[in-house]
Amino acid sequence: MTDQYQVEKVLQGDRDAFELVIKNTEGLVAQILFKMINNTEDRKDIAQDIYFKVYKNLASFKFQSKLSTWIARIAYNTCLNFLEMKKPGLIHTISIEDNSHIESLEKIIRTSTPAREAENFIFQKELSKILQCEIEKLSPVYKTLLTLFHKEELTYAEISEITELPEGTVKNYLFRARKTLRENLLIQYKKEDL
């Protein structure tokens, strides 16, 4: 069923068609919500709010993108507004990493054999668990971008459309997020090892 057909059906008042839209897109919306909002009750309210907005504004959808991308954009903006309302400035906490720290760590990895061994070891030892933990520590925007790119396999253009960030910024944020994640994983391992 094409997006156009689905939208037309919903606009004609077909509730089953809207239910199908929700079912088809709630996975992507959940990814964004779970990465950006921690409180379960808030997530429940925001999820409903997102689809009310979708329903209310569906007539203004111009088919310039996929329907799922448009809904994801509404989800992302709704989460951002919520975070801004709750804690102004929270979403802009993407800091530029301390490069000297990263460089020194890379130096250790490059030069010392134990560090290299540690690096190898960490990716074998309960990596998934540690990784999830470390992802949770990242900023909401980083978490969302990583999920959209690696989990949902969206393109830079699609992520750019959802987040309303330029493609270059998306790439840059993703680069920083992966780098931070990798470094944090190594630090985490070193802590556990001590």
* Binding interface with other proteins (CB under 8 A): 12-15, 18-19, 22-23, 26-27, 30-31, 33-34, 40, 43-44, 47-48, 51-52, 55-56, 102, 106, 109-110, 116, 119-120, 123, 127-128, 131-132, 135, 146-147, 149-151, 174-175, 178-179, 181-182, 185
Shortest Å, Cβ 121 to other proteins: 11
Instruction: Using alpha carbons, list the distances in angstroms from residue 4 to 7, 28, 67.
Output: 5, 19, 9
Please say which residue, 3 or 106, places its beta carbon nearer to other proteins.
106
Shortest Å, Cβ 19 to other proteins: 5
Shortest Å, Cβ 52 to other proteins: 5
Shortest Å, Cβ 107 to other proteins: 10
Please say which residue, 47 or 165, places its beta carbon nearer to other proteins.
47
Instruction: Using alpha carbons, list the distances in angstroms from residue 151 to 67, 143, 191.
Output: 19, 11, 28
Three-class SS of residue 11? helix
Residue 91 contacts residue 83 (beta carbons within 8 Å)? yes
Please say which residue, 8 or 92, places its beta carbon nearer to other proteins.
8
| Nearest to 157, CA basis, from 142, 146, 168 | 168
In what helix (H) or strand (E) does residue 93 lie, and over which residues does it extend? Answer: none
- Identify the residue whose tokens are 């429940």: 44
Please say which residue, 64 or 191, places its beta carbon nearer to other proteins.
191
Instruction: Using alpha carbons, list the distances in angstroms from residue 115 to 45, 124, 181.
Output: 46, 14, 17
Please say which residue, 145 or 165, places its beta carbon nearer to other proteins.
145
Shortest Å, Cβ 175 to other proteins: 5
